[in-house]
Structure 1
Amino acid sequence: MRRLYVVTHPEATHHVAGRVGGWFDSRLTARGRVHATAIAARLRELVPPAATIELYSSDLRRAAETAAPIARRFGVDAVLVPDLREKSYGVAGGRPQAWLDERFVPPPATGERLDHDEGVEGAETKLEWVTRVYRAVGRIRSGTAEHQVAVTHGGSLSWVVAAWLGLPVEACAYASFRASAGGITVLAEDDRFHNRTLHTLNDTGHLAG
């Protein structure tokens, strides 16, 4: 059974400051660093003792800081994958969330939703965002370890799951898998039929207290 453990980074400075994340390179808060250690401990419980892992991470600081205690716990190096980044919000990155909310143009209920212009200069379209995360999952799936860990962001988690399940990019016009900061999502593929499943979505039990 092949497994991919997808980690969404825990609390970062842009969360508590009420600022737009995206490609803005925020760091983990003190609470986030405690949760990153708890994530590493939980992964050590989930991965069989004799198994080795491959560890991949978004290159944004808050994700790399989440990957660091995992790397230490398992004695591996994290491979930084820019394609695992959160959506780029262009000029809105790092600005107050209210600034983006005033300008953001949501997609229509029907019609063009993937290549929709959200009204923010320099922002990725959903199609660009989904396409690069799918590319990241393709890179991860080319690895050879039966147990892999990918550290990403809450928004990009949806596209990691969709890519794993083999959903066509067009399905991402509506598909969504909600995850909170510091959650662990487990994806699995069986050895006989090679069916891929969403085993666990957004486990946060390790963050209690």
Structure 2
Amino acid sequence: MRYLYLVTHPEAQHHVDGLVGGWYDSALTRRGHQQAERIADVLQAKIGANPVEVHSSDLRRTTQTAETIAARFDTKVHLDPRLRERTNGDADGRPQSWLTERRIPLPEYGDRLAHHDGPEGAETRLHLVERLYPALEEILSRESETQIIVSHGNATSYLISAWLGIPMLNTDRGFFPLTSGGITTLRRNDTHYSNQVLALNETDHLDV
């Protein structure tokens, strides 16, 4: 059995300030650091003394979360920029209202993955899945049977799709609305040869 735990980073300063996240390198707030400790508590209880690998997006809010988790297991963090959130280009770090005024709405039909939201330098969802899918495949090719990935809300939703074997071009409508600081538990069942979702977006630990 392989276990994979997906963690969305907890409260970061851009959440509090009402700014667009994306590649804006926001740090965890004091509350976010407390939530990261709670996340580490939950994972330690789930995993116990089993060896674990920790992988993370290289942005501060995720690396801070990942380092807190890795310290509990006396291991290091493997940083991978492919695990970053989708960038909003020029909108990153600006007020959410700035992006709202300029965003081109996602169409109901057509090539939704290739849709461009408007801001200069923004990634399409196709760009996002084209880097996330290979990143997950590489992580899963490693020998460790227990792994943790710390990433971001939208990115983690597509990681779940990749885990379930949904082809990249079929991810234009499926989406898992995830909470900051949530934990999703995945398991590879070697008896049934199935990739399972055991728990989606656990958040009870966030009450700090």
Fold shared by both chains (TM-score > 0.5): yes
In structure 1, runs of 5+ residues without a counterpart are: none
Match of 2:41 in 1: 41
Report the Cα distance in structure 1 between the residues aligned to 2:128 and 2:67, rounded to whole angstroms. 25
Percent identity between the two aligned chains:
48
TM-score, with structure 1 as normaliser: 0.97
The corresponding residue for 2:172 is 173
1:144 partner amino acid: E
Secondary structure of the 1:68 match is helix
**Letter matched to residue 13 of structure 1:** Q
Paired position in structure 1 for 2:148: 149
Unaligned runs of 5+ in 2: none
1:9-20 aligned at under 5 Å gives the runs 9-20=9-20
Query: 1:67: which partner in 2?
Result: 66
> Aligned AA for 2:124?
T
Equivalent AA in structure 2 for residue 68 of structure 1: E
- 1:123-147 deviation digits (Å, cap 9, x = unpaired): 0011001111112111111111111
Q: Secondary structure at the match of 1:21?
A: coil
The answer to whether 1:21 aligns with 2:21 is: yes
- 1:155-205 superposed Cα distances (whole Å, 9 cap, x missing partner): 111111000000001221001011101000011111223200111110011
For 1:160, give the aligned amino acid.
Answer: L
Q: Alignment RMSD, CA only?
A: 0.9
- Quick one: distance in 2 between partners of 1:11 and 1:22? 14
CA distance in 1, matches of 2:125, 2:88: 11
Superposed, which structure 2 residues align to 1:28-107 within 5 Å? 28-47=28-47, 49-107=48-106
3-state SS, counterpart of residue 101 of structure 2: helix
Post-superposition shift, 1:117?
A: 1.7
Matched, 1:135 2:134: yes
* Aligned match of 2:185: 186
Rounded Cα–Cα distance in structure 2 between residues aligned with 1:31 and 1:141: 32
Letter aligned with residue 73 of structure 1:
R
* Equivalent residue letter for 2:37: T
Deviations 1:10-32 (A, max 9, x none): 00000000000000000000000
> Displacement of 1:106 after TM fit?
1.6
Q: 1:37 and 1:199 mapped to 2: Cα distance?
A: 22
Residue equivalent to 1:201:
200
Give the CA deviation at 1:89: 0.5
Q: Distance in 2 between matches of 1:50 and 1:30?
A: 28
* 1:56 CA drift (Å): 0.1
